[in-house]
Amino acid sequence: MPPVEPAPAPGTGGRPVSLYQDRLFIGGEFTAAAAGGAVEVRSPHDGTLLAEVAEAREADVDRAVDAAVAAFGGWAATPAADRGRLLLRLADAIEDDAEELARLESVDTGHPLRDTATLDVPRTAATFRYFGGMADKHQGSVPPVEPGFLNYVTREPVGVVGQIVPWNFPVMFASWKLGPALAAGNTVVMKPSELAPLSTLRICELMADAGVPPGVVNVVPGYGHTAGARIVEHPDVAKVSFTGSTATGRLVAAAAAGTLKRVHLELGGKGANAVFADADLPAAVAGAAFAAFHNQGQACIAGSRLLLHEAIADEFVERFIDLASSIKVGDPLAPGTELGPLTSPEHRDRVLSYVKIAVDEGGEILTGGRAPDDPDLARGCYVEPTVVRAEPGDRVCREEVFGPLVTVSTFADDDEAIGLINDAEYGLGGGLWTSDLARAHRVAAAFRTGMVWINSYKRVNPGSPFGGVGRSGYGREMGFEAMREYTEAKSVWVNVDARIPPWYPR
Ligand code: NAD
């Protein structure tokens, strides 16, 4: 008798629950957790159980690090072109699997399929392809030194790298971190978020099929305070690349100090998006909506602080509210959905608590501010697109809400705009809208952030450095910057003139 296929559960995108990959990936094999525990992964759309994913604890991390240590010598010695070829093959496999991966990401995170299919998954393939091409082009240098000596500098892989990832763009972040680390010859232990590990495990399946050798990448889903903390403190992990909240980033930096490992931190944000009086208003309104509401506002670079020149503020707000209140909220798998659920009930409650905080501080809710009425969405983690008029000093303008909530404040001139833009502890990204070229460059130069978008917002590309300053962390993903993050410079001195005395002349 043929095996009976398990029935698809509702809210799972039609995929039978038991067919999600739900084990750890260590030494090239899918394996159970040593202690046998599991983390329930639920659909943010309706709470359905998607999978019970093996929960890595300290012993599993140790096993993963051992596998990465064992694989390091062979991988680092693999010709760079061959490492690159494997990443290119993986990029092809991701494109072949794009439909499946996009559905998986949407089901697990709540991010609408129209985005995961057109942005997240294509960008994931593009990033692996970019770093596949980079592998044999990232090179050392020959600095001009004094006559009689040759000095050359090679870029060596760092070793075993620990990578810790949040839940908001898991598949894309896997490529941002794995791409440069592998191209440079490192081996990896990656911990996806306990809330959204499924697409990363799917990438492991594709990697194994593409021929990435066992142990080069190990994936250990589990909780931060156990699996994550063990990665950070493990003496054989040479570097940690962490993306997540500023609060956790502080813990990671402090814990990494114990073994003096290198740390790269991609942390929170509170992006300003400033609209000047001479801006193309329809474009700025649409761009501000993308900046604030894309992925339900769960983006570190979200444009969550709208700053409007007072001359256009009323007209802008009217148009913006029209657009925000017409956004189609719903099942992330439905073709027309523009805004899906937040990632978890706890996170939804946290976002809604900021609505109360805003009102208590005297803010005015211009639209949204609650869960939608639609009974079909009642079991999900939904919050309406929310626009709040607030004063720049209010908590809602200073703290990262990480949801579909944007504040609106006004400014009178460029100097006041620049003051407000930089009145933040964070320094990740921000945008400005103007038709005046000189103003565009002047204001962009004044942003204390790692990224600025002029007459656009949230553009990312594998070739362009991504990262922040201040409480948004340090280090950069993408481009040549990322290759530097994952390599150490080794300076080699060669005496090429035997007449140069090695000691004082006698
Ligand atoms: P989080 O800090 O709670 O968790 C991030 C990751 O760290 C998860 O995998 C978690 O399990 C792990 N973790 C938790 N405690 C840990 C510990 N003590 N040691 C090691 N690992 C630990 O963040 P989150 O809620 O998953 O994600 C949202 C946050 O991430 C937001 O603040 C957002 O701005 C930030 N983020 C930043 C970027 C960026 O590139 N700058 C990108 C996306 C998200």
pLDDT digits (tens, 9 = 90+) for 348-378: 999 999 999 999 999 999 999 999 999 999 9
Rounded Cα–Cα distance for residues 253 and 371 (Å)? 37
- Sign for the CA dihedral angle at 278, 282, 283, 284 comes to positive
Tell me which H or E stretch contains 490.
strand 487-495
Beta-strand runs (E) in 209-338: 217-219, 239-243, 262-266, 272-275, 305-309
Q: Which residues contact 375 (CB under 8 A, 6 or more apart)?
A: none
Q: What is the pLDDT of residue 15?
A: 56
> For residue 231, which atom of ligand 1 is closest to its CA?
20
Q: How far is the CA of 265 from the centre of ligand 1 (A)?
A: 10
pLDDT higher than 60, residue 4: no
CA nearest ligand 1 atom 15, residue: 224
Ligand 1 binding pocket (C-beta < 6 A) is 164-168, 191, 193-194, 223-225, 228-229, 232, 243-245, 248, 251-252, 266-269, 300, 400, 402, 428, 468, 472
Alpha helices in 271-429 (DSSP H): 281-293, 313-325, 345-360, 395-398, 414-421
Section 28-40 average pLDDT: 96
| Token pair listed for 432 | 């400005």
pLDDT higher than 50, residue 2: no
pLDDT digits (tens, 9 = 90+) for 64-87: 999 999 999 999 999 999 999 999
CA nearest ligand 1 atom 4, residue: 244
Residue whose token pair is 């929170």: 268
Query: Which residue in the list 55, 105, 266, 485 is annotated as catalytic?
Result: 266
Query: Which residue in the list 55, 105, 204, 300 is annotated as catalytic?
Result: 300
Section 493-502 average pLDDT: 91
pLDDT digits (tens, 9 = 90+) for 400-446: 999 999 999 999 999 999 999 999 999 999 999 999 999 999 999 99
Q: What is the pLDDT of residue 19?
A: 67
Q: What is the pLDDT of residue 14?
A: 55
> For residue 194, which atom of ligand 1 is closest to its CA?
11
How far, in Å, are 103, 125, 293 from residue 463 at the CA level? 27, 13, 25
| Token pair listed for 335 | 């073709």
Rounded Cα–Cα distance for residues 338 and 290 (Å)? 10
Q: Is the pTM of this model over 0.85?
A: yes
What's 212's DSSP letter? P
**183: nearest Cα among 98, 84, 253, 278:** 84
Tell me which H or E stretch contains 38.
strand 38-42
Best residue among 57, 245, 449 to mutate for probing ligand 1's pocket (most ligand atoms within 8 Å of CB) is 245
Q: How far is the CA of 164 from the centre of ligand 1 (A)?
A: 8
CA nearest ligand 1 atom 9, residue: 193
Section 180-196 average pLDDT: 98
Q: How far is the CA of 244 from the centre of ligand 1 (A)?
A: 2
Q: Is 300 a catalytic residue?
A: yes
pLDDT higher than 70, residue 8: no
pLDDT digits (tens, 9 = 90+) for 88-137: 999 999 999 999 999 999 999 999 999 999 999 999 999 999 999 999 99
Q: How far is the CA of 391 from the centre of ligand 1 (A)?
A: 28
Q: Is 156 a catalytic residue?
A: no
* Type of residue at 399: E
Considering the chain, what is the average pLDDT of its residues? Answer: 95
pLDDT confidence tier of residue 3, bands split at 50, 70 and 90:
very low
Q: What are phi and psi of 494, to 5 degrees?
A: -125, 125
pLDDT confidence tier of residue 167, bands split at 50, 70 and 90:
very high
pLDDT confidence tier of residue 12, bands split at 50, 70 and 90:
low
Section 136-157 average pLDDT: 97
Q: What is the pLDDT of residue 500?
A: 86
Ordered structural domains, the chain, with CATH: 17-267+472-490 (3.40.605.10), 272-454 (3.40.309.10)
Residue whose token pair is 């809602």: 396
> For residue 246, which atom of ligand 1 is closest to its CA?
32
Best residue among 248, 428, 485 to mutate for probing ligand 1's pocket (most ligand atoms within 8 Å of CB) is 248
> For residue 167, which atom of ligand 1 is closest to its CA?
26
